[in-house]
Amino acid sequence: MEKRTFNVPKISCVHCVAAIQKELHEMEGVTQANGDPQTKTVTVAWQPPATASEIEARLSEIGYPASP
Q: pLDDT tens across 2-31, in order?
A: 999 999 999 999 999 999 999 999 999 999
Q: What are phi and psi of 13, to 5 degrees?
A: -160, 175
CB neighbours of residue 38 within 10 Å: 6
The answer to whether residue 33 is domain-embedded is yes
Q: What is the pLDDT of residue 68?
A: 74
Our count of domains for the chain comes to 1
User: 46-59, pLDDT tens digit by residue?
Assistant: 999 999 999 999 99
CATH at residue 54: 3.30.70.100
The answer to whether residue 18 is domain-embedded is yes
DSSP 8-state code for residue 67: B
